[in-house]
Each structure stands twice: as C-alpha cells, then as structure tokens.
C-alpha cells in the first residue's frame, strides 16, 4: 500500500509534545454464528500514524525467548500461527492452527509493575504470540496464567508513546478471556459472556457502565431515538463518581456499548461469508473516519481506523482490510505449512503496491526471520 501515512512521524511527535497519552484505540468482538459452532473474531485498529503492518506465518517448533534479561520467558512454539504485526515489533492480532484468536488493544490504565525478576518476564511484543504459540484454547491459556505469574515488560514504541495494552483471547468454543494489568496486578475476566473489548476504562468499569447502557441501548444509541450523550449526562447525575473518573472516555464507552448491543442482536450465519460479513458490519460500524490533523488532540479521544481483521476459526480463514487504501486480502490456513516442517514467512503490507493486495495472498509471502519483539532488551 506504500504506506500512505496518515500523520507523519514528525506531526506525531508534535502531537505528543502536547502530552497526548492516548494515540490509539481499537474495538474487538467475537461473533457466535449460532449454528455449527462458528466463531468469527473481528477487530479494528485506530491509530494516529501508519502501523507499517506485516502478516507473518510462524510454524510450530520455533524457539522463542523474551530477550529481556534475567528470568526472561523462553519457549518452543507448539502451534503454528498467522499474525498481523505493528512495525514488525508487536504481534498485535492473530490466530493459531487450533483456532485460538487473540488481539492486543490499547489500555492506557495498564500498569505492569516495576520489573520483578523473580517472575518470568514477557516483552509486550510477544505477549499475544506466547499464547498463540502454546495454547490450543482459552481454558488452557487461563490455566497456564494461574500457574505462571507472568509479568509483561513494555517499552515506548516511539519516544513518549506508552505501549500499554490489554489482551483478548477467544477460541472455537466461544470462550473468551480478557487479561489486564492494573496497579501491577493481573486481572482476568474469563467466560463466554465477554465477547467485546475496546479501550479504557478497565474492563470492570466497562461492564459496570454497560449494565446501565445495555437495557437502554435500543433507545439511546446513534441511529435510535436519542444520541448517547444525553444519556451519559443523565448517568453523570446518577453516578458522579464513576463518571468523574472517566470524564473523557465516553466515546470509548460508546463503542463498547454499541458493539455489545450489535452483537447481542446479530442474526445467525450459516456459512463463512455471512459470518465474516456480520462481524465486519459490526466492526465497521464502530470504526472512525479520517479526521483533519488539526482536530487531533483537541480533547476527543478519536483516531481514524486504519485497518480491520477478521478471523474465522471454523473454516480457518484470516481476512485483512485496510481503510487507508482500498485493499482487502485473505489467507486460508490450509495453504500454509504451520507444522514444524514449515518456515517463517512474511508479507509486508506497507511495502506492497495496493494493486497487489487483493484477494488470496497464497504465494505472495516470502521467507523471513522472526522479529525482535518490542520490550526486548529491557
Ligand atoms: C513506517 O514506515 C515508513 C515508510 O517506510 C517509515 O518512514 C517510518 O519511519 C516507519 N515508522 C516506524 C515507526 O517504524
Ligand atoms: C533469543 O532469541 C534471539 C532471537 O531469536 C537469539 O538471537 C538469541 O540467541 C536467543 N537467546 C537465548 C538465550 O536463547
Ligand atoms: C516479586 O515476585 C515474587 C514472586 O511472585 C513475590 O513473592 C515478591 O513479593 C515480588 N517482589 C516485589 C518487590 O514485588
Ligand atoms: C427498549 O428495551 C427495553 C428493555 O428490553 C424495553 O423495556 C423497552 O420497551 C424498549 N424500548 C423501545 C422503544 O423499544
Ligand atoms: C524459502 O526457503 C526454502 C529453503 O529454506 C526454499 O525451498 C523456498 O523456495 C523459499 N521460498 C521462497 C518463497 O522464497
């Protein structure tokens, strides 16, 4: 797509010098098709500058290590995976050969705690990758987390941009897990009832806010009788404490509530196409159009949507669509060797011309090596 950077790195840095702490937001949903146990995951990436994304194929049998010094977690991948990266430094979205899908989404509140070398450490760039490499489903990942006491280690992506995220995992059975680090402690929400994740506030607060919004979603959301803002103000009078904490978060809460609502109403899908289309329709509806640079950092936490991915864990197909250029691609797992005899392959989405990024990408990947994860080096 020869990148078409939305905002140059220069303007990004100027922006940050005005102390913006949030520079990305995103939305994720797992849609249960209702028949044939089909689960399709979808996510948007809203960010201030091009993410220079690549697709990677990682086979089973890869030796991995966190490269963060003492007590760095190391492992050998049991499962192959297909992932989307940011800057070839972070596995930000992906699915493994068992149909476990996962995404990292921005969470400004995250606090992973000061490095404690008596806990195994994982660089944030491989946080998601660790789960895709080792676990076939959410239950197995949850069990491992109870035992391991992992600590995520992060690093600024570009100077001043905090790289703090929470993690969502989902599997073929419709199980989900949200993992956050708050005040240095890991907080987990595990179950089928958690198919939606957006950004701040923390997931607990999102759930609390959604108990208010859920029942009035049918009358309070865009496209219904009243705009969300009026209800937010009414809520502000009822629960000033929580509102005060999240005075600037209402647009994110809006995405959480809308996605939860759309997902609760989504009709059944009987095949791959309908299921992906249903998921895409929801994720597109919480996407953000381009905004003029002058409007960025004026108080609203709004960033344009740059791309979206959809992963279908029944047919094992991975879709990527850009909103910076009109491209849409897919990869079928059956076309790639994810076994331990496979090779690491890469497709640099920011390097290909947009005309080449249409349809099936089988045959377009080239041999590659693993990237050094963000957070490595301490
Ligand atoms: C993204 O790619 C562009 C074009 O190659 C480059 O100028 C820019 O520095 C890259 N951004 C980052 C953060 O790596
Ligand atoms: C960690 O991985 C890197 C990159 O694959 C490799 O160069 C390095 O030797 C590994 N270190 C250990 C201790 O395994
Ligand atoms: C470091 O982690 C160990 C193991 O979880 C724990 O017992 C210890 O209290 C932690 N140290 C600090 C300073 O938090
Ligand atoms: C909205 O949903 C609530 C709860 O399900 C219901 O009581 C109410 O009648 C609905 N309002 C409209 C306008 O459909
Ligand atoms: C990748 O490398 C293998 C040898 O390791 C070679 O057989 C294969 O042709 C290469 N594939 C591509 C697309 O370059």
Could you read off the pLDDT of 30-69 as tens digits, one per residue?
A: 999 998 889 999 999 988 788 999 999 999 999 998 889 9
pLDDT at 13: 47
List ligand 5's pocket residues with C-beta within 6 A.
Answer: 343, 366-367
Q: CA 44, CA 63: separation in Å to the nearest integer?
A: 30
Report yes or no: 56 and 83 within 8 Å, Cβ to Cβ. Answer: yes
Q: How confident is the model at residue 92 (pLDDT cuts 50, 70, 90)?
A: very high
Q: Quick one: pLDDT band at residue 236, thresholds 50, 70, 90? A: low
* Cα 367 to averaged position of ligand 5 atoms, centre (Å): 6
Look at ligand 4, atom 3, and give the residue with the nearest C-alpha.
Answer: 215
pLDDT at 15: 46
| Residue 193 pLDDT exceeds 90 | yes
Locate the ligand 4 atom nearest the alpha carbon of residue 224 and give its number: 13
Rounded Cα distance between 41 and 280, Å, is 9
pLDDT score recorded for residue 14: 47
Where do the domains of the chain lie, and which CATH numbers do they carry? Answer: 9-367 (3.60.60.10)
CA distance 358 to 330: 8
Q: What is the pLDDT of residues 310-366, one digit of tens each?
A: 999 999 999 999 998 888 999 999 999 999 999 999 999 999 998 899 999 999 999
Q: Report CA(216)–ligand 4 centroid distance (Å).
A: 7
Give catalytic status of residue 67 as yes or no.
no
Within 6 A (CB) of ligand 3 lie 116, 118-119, 149
225: helix, coil or strand?
coil
Catalytic annotation, pick one of 6, 12, 26, 216: 26
Q: Is the pLDDT of residue 24 over 90?
A: no
- Output the residue whose Cα is nearest ligand 5's atom 11: 367
**Could you give the 3-state DSSP secondary structure of residue 246?**
coil
pLDDT band at 245 (very low <50, low <70, confident <90, very high): low
pTM of the model: 0.89
> What is the 246 CA–ligand 1 centroid distance (Å)?
33
Instruction: Kindly tell me if the per-residue pLDDT of 103 is higher than 90.
Output: yes
């Amino acid at each position: 797509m020869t990148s078409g950077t939305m905002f140059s790195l220069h303007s990004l840095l100027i922006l940050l010098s005005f102390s913006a702490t949030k520079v990305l937001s995103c939305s994720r949903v797992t849609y249960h098709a209702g028949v044939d146990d089909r689960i399709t995951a979808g996510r948007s990436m809203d960010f201030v500058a091009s993410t220079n994304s690549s697709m990677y194929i990682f086979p089973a049998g890869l030796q991995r290590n966190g490269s963060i010094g003492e007590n760095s977690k190391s492992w050998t991948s049991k499962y192959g995976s297909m992932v989307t990266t940011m800057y070839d430094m972070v596995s930000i979205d992906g699915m493994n050969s068992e149909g476990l899908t996962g995404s990292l989404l921005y969470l400004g509140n995250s606090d992973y705690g000061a490095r404690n070398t008596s806990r195994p450490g994982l660089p944030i760039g491989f946080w998601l990758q660790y789960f895709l490499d080792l676990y076939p489903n959410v239950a197995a990942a949850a069990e491992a987390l109870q035992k391991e006491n992992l600590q995520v280690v992060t690093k600024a992506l570009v100077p001043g941009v905090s790289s703090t995220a929470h993690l969502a995992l989902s599997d073929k059975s419709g199980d989900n897990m949200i993992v956050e680090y708050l005040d240095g402690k890991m907080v987990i929400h595990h179950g089928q009832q958690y198919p939606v994740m957006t950004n701040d506030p923390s997931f607990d607060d999102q759930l609390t806010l959604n108990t208010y919004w859920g029942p009035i979603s049918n009358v309070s959301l865009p496209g219904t009788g009243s705009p969300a803002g009026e209800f937010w103000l009414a809520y502000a009078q009822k629960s000033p404490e929580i509102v005060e904490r999240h005075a600037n978060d209402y647009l994110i809460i809006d995405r959480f509530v809308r996605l939860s609502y759309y997902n609760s109403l989504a009709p059944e899908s009987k095949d791959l196409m309908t299921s992906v289309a249903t998921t895409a329709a929801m994720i597109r509806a919480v996407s953000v159009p381009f905004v003029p640079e002058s409007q960025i950092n004026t108080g609203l936490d709004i960033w344009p949507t740059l791309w979206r991915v959809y992963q279908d864990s029944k047919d094992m197909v991975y879709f990527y669509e850009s909103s910076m250029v009109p491209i849409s691609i897919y990869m079928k797992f059956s076309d790639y060797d994810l076994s331990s005899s496979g090779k690491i392959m890469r497709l640099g989405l920011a390097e290909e011309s947009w005309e080449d990024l249409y349809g099936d990408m089988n045959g377009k990947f080239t041999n590659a090596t693993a990237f050094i994860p963000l957070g490595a080096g301490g």
